[in-house]
Amino acid sequence: MGEFEMARKKNSEGLKRSLFAEFFVILLLVIAILVASIIRTSNVKKQGVNASDAPQASQNQITDAQSETASAVVPASVTATTVVPVSGVPATTVPDATYLTAMTTIPGVSAVATTAGLYTTTPITSAAAAASELSEDDKVIYLTFDDGPTDNTRNLLDILDRYGVKATFFVIHTYDGCEVQIKELYDRGQQIALHSYTHNYNIYRSVDTYFEDLQQISDLVYNATGGYRSTLVRFPGGTSNTVSRKYSSGIMTTLSKELPARGYRYFDWDWDSTDAEANRQDTSVIVRNATKAIGNDNHVILLMHDAAAKTTTVEALPQIIEAYRNAGYRFDVLSMTSYTYQHKPNN
Ligand SMILES: [Zn+2]
């Protein structure tokens, strides 16, 4: 091999080496690009997940809300689902299948909740309900408080005023001098309605004894307010109470006809806060039960109590108001022309 040849071979070997080096560099580059691309893709995916976290969360909220609505239609498919809290309202659960099974939808009226067998809510197709001018999708809640006035009344009033909300108070004679508090309720624009003077179930002995008691509370309100004569009534125990059987057979059936005949209008409730099911019911339980109508019923007469022991009802009220307000309900008071809900007499 001559000089030239050796040089050529060297060159050729050098060329081979440099080609190999170039190939190696390119290979490295390709690998680098591939790795970079993989990393980039994975980052894009991560960003994609991150970016969609918020929408996904709100989608879940919508889904929960929808399932709440849907559950009213197809109870069997419902399982308890946690609902994302809305502005300070504790997480509540979508009514479970058992609860919804206990609900009956009355065409043109509302859904009915039967709670713990305290009362039955077999509705009557009443002229009063038909007289209501509410449209199906007009969302209205009537907060009602029975058995006051008590030490809690002032607190309830302050909360109602803070939210600019009016409620209906079915009052009784709680103590001598309670006229002062009834006057305050009246002066602060709340709706005064009649429950009973004594709230003793022996008023159901006869039509006369019932109306004597009713006249007493009517006069008390009349005197306390300087001349307001209320014709709005809620029976102690509700129209469907069975305790009256002890005093007079058929009395509730008779009274439910006699009241309108004498110019009164009576109101039961279609949703129960269950604040009377325990001496001092848990605040969270009251809130949960009081807001169960949301998504299930656009016309809500909510039963609550203004009794002395019901301090947790006071605690629950702001959350109840906020939940209904956030769900688009307006607040109204019961009247001779408002929506009403009447239980069917069981005696
Ligand atoms: Zn009562």
Every domain of the chain and the residues it spans: 1-94, 106-331
Predicted confidence (pLDDT) at residue 57 exceeds the cutoff of 80: no
Q: pLDDT tens digit string along 254-307?
A: 999 999 999 999 999 999 999 999 999 999 999 999 999 999 999 999 999 999
Q: For the chain, give me the number of helices (H) and strands (E)?
A: 9, 10
Percent helix, strand, coil in the chain (nearest 5)? 50, 10, 40
**In the block, which residue shows the tokens 């559950």?**
71
Query: Separation of 236 CA from ligand 1 center, angstroms?
Result: 5
Residue 130: per-residue pLDDT = 43
Say how far apart CA 282 and CA 298 lie, in whole Å: 26
State how far Cα 91 lies from the chain centre: 12
Residue 206: per-residue pLDDT = 98
Query: Separation of 126 CA from ligand 1 center, angstroms?
Result: 23
Predicted confidence (pLDDT) at residue 53 exceeds the cutoff of 90: no
Query: Separation of 142 CA from ligand 1 center, angstroms?
Result: 17
Residue 24: per-residue pLDDT = 72
Taking ligand 1, which is a single-atom ion, which protein residues have CB atoms under 5 Å away? 146-147, 236
Query: Separation of 306 CA from ligand 1 center, angstroms?
Result: 9
As a whole number of Å, the end-to-end CA separation of the chain is 128
Residue 18: per-residue pLDDT = 66
Question: Structure tokens of 343?
Answer: 């239980």
Torsion-angle region of residue 177: left (phi > 0), alpha (psi -120 to 50) or beta? left
**The three-state (H, E, C) secondary structure of 17-62, written as one string:** HHHHHHHHHHHHHHHHHHHHHHHHHHHHHHHHHHHHHHHHHHHHHH
pLDDT category of residue 80 using cuts at 50, 70 and 90? very low
**In the block, which residue shows the tokens 């498919």?**
77
Q: Which residue has the higher pLDDT, 7 or 296?
A: 296
The CATH homologous superfamily of the domain defined by 106-331: Glycoside hydrolase/deacetylase (3.20.20.370)
Q: Which residue has the higher pLDDT, 134 or 203?
A: 203
Query: Separation of 120 CA from ligand 1 center, angstroms?
Result: 16
Asked if residue 92 lies in contact with residue 65, where contact means CB atoms within 8 angstroms, the answer is no
Query: Separation of 195 CA from ligand 1 center, angstroms?
Result: 7
- The β-bridge partners of 193 are 170
pLDDT category of residue 26 using cuts at 50, 70 and 90? confident
Mean of per-residue pLDDT scores for the chain: 75
Query: Separation of 42 CA from ligand 1 center, angstroms?
Result: 65
Query: Separation of 203 CA from ligand 1 center, angstroms?
Result: 13
Determine the 3-state secondary structure of 196 from DSSP: strand
Query: Separation of 58 CA from ligand 1 center, angstroms?
Result: 42
pLDDT category of residue 43 using cuts at 50, 70 and 90? very low
Query: Separation of 147 CA from ligand 1 center, angstroms?
Result: 5
Predicted confidence (pLDDT) at residue 111 exceeds the cutoff of 70: no
Going by C-alpha positions, the residue among 334, 342, 332 that lies closest to residue 109 is 342
Query: Separation of 325 CA from ligand 1 center, angstroms?
Result: 27
Q: Which residue has the higher pLDDT, 13 or 67?
A: 13
Asked if residue 184 lies in contact with residue 345, where contact means CB atoms within 8 angstroms, the answer is no
Q: Which residue has the higher pLDDT, 128 or 102?
A: 128
Least confident of 123-127, 149-153, 221-225, 228-232: 123-127
Predicted confidence (pLDDT) at residue 157 exceeds the cutoff of 50: yes
Say how far apart CA 290 and CA 303 lie, in whole Å: 8
Predicted confidence (pLDDT) at residue 105 exceeds the cutoff of 70: no
Query: Separation of 214 CA from ligand 1 center, angstroms?
Result: 13
